[in-house]
Amino acid sequence: MPEPGYLRVADTSTALAALTQYGRSARLIAGGTDLVNLIKEGIERPAVLVDIGRLPLDTVQADGNGLRIGALTTMSAAAGDPALRSGYPAVVEALELSASPQIRNAATIGGNLLQRTRCPYYRAETKLPCNKRQPGSGCAARSGYDRTLAVIGWSDACRACHPSDLAVALVALNAELTIHSPRGSRTVPLAAFYRLPGETPERDSVLEPDEIVIAVRVPPSPAAACSGYLKVRERAPYEFGLVSAAVAVEADGTMIRDVRICLGGVAARPWRLYEVERYLVGRQLTESVVREALALALADARPLKSNGFKIELARRAACRALLELRGRGAVSK
């Protein structure tokens, strides 16, 4: 495989011009913790790498207008920011449960949100049918190993799960992405940014080839300060989760005024439990109420032959995450 060309840019406009020139054959690179591996494995074969690592997109701001994290902020820098740690614990916990400290020191927020799936067929050293890797080749998971794959939102073309812990926490906090292109700037809710596979699973998101994610913004909310992230893994150190749950609650005593719940590891995108949230508002944050509400979760799931356990595991993870918030300041026992 020929080595890709390399172009280091000093500003966003030059980066956008390069994407316009090279189109889908270009890839942006900063930390490179995911992309470099994909190139080594022959999964990605860009004609040119556009290095945006020196663009001034690495600041964290948290104030009365909410939270803004530049896309090139490293995961470690974001997790260590004092304002973020005090006001957005679910984001910090998701970051600290992601990868190893060494990877978090290099990996960027934008790169984390745009990382590709860890489906074993997509990542296989031996090339196997995978519509996400090679459109039209088929999906090996249809007759193979599916324990770690999606239980909802999948299609015959793809059963892969979304891999980012951070995305799950941010969707629970109603985060938005600021995206720039030659046509201008647009804002996309993170919950709408990721696509379900349908018949085109090679497209993970609504990001166009000539667009760059500039920043993540989380709107101000009392629930953000009373939030948490729980990840269930088969092995603790740095393992990708079987399921995860991000929760945020605003309560008056134990009466729930606002609640957000998002699951990871169950679909091709973070899976928000809107029906469960509506059920819980106005009720007490007690174990019996929470368990009753979460019985509604994933009611439309279509588990595969070996991963039906994920449904109950995800419900229990969300339940535990919510009940653990009772020990935090914004929710009184």
Alpha helices, DSSP H only, in 55-147?
A: 75-80, 82-87, 89-96, 101-106, 109-113
Whether residue 89 is contained in a domain is answered as: no
Whether residue 287 is contained in a domain is answered as: yes
Of 153, 148, 118, 146, residue with least CA distance to 132: 118
Whether residue 93 is contained in a domain is answered as: no
In tens digits, the chain (333 residues) has pLDDT values of 678 999 999 999 999 999 999 999 999 999 999 999 999 999 999 999 999 999 999 999 999 999 999 999 999 999 999 999 999 999 999 999 998 999 999 999 999 999 999 999 999 988 899 999 999 999 999 999 999 999 999 999 999 999 999 999 999 999 999 999 999 999 999 999 999 999 999 999 999 999 999 999 999 999 999 999 999 998 766 668 899 999 999 999 889 999 999 999 999 999 999 999 999 999 999 999 999 999 999 999 999 999 999 999 999 999 999 999 987 755 655
* Domain-ending residue, one of 9, 38, 56: 56
Q: What is the CATH number of the domain that holds 237?
A: 3.30.390.50
Whether residue 100 is contained in a domain is answered as: no
Whether residue 50 is contained in a domain is answered as: yes
Identity (one letter) of the amino acid at 55?
L
The domain of 243 spans 222-327
DSSP category for residue 128: -
Looking at the structure of the chain, the number of domains it has is 2
* Domain-ending residue, one of 22, 41, 56: 56
Whether residue 209 is contained in a domain is answered as: no
Of 328, 264, 283, residue with least CA distance to 88: 328
Whether residue 141 is contained in a domain is answered as: no
Whether residue 196 is contained in a domain is answered as: no
Directed axis angle between helix 165-172 and helix 89-96, to 10°?
A: 170
Q: What is the CATH number of the domain that holds 14?
A: 3.30.43.10
Q: What is the pTM of this model?
A: 0.96
CA separation for the pair 46, 43 (Å, rounded)? 10
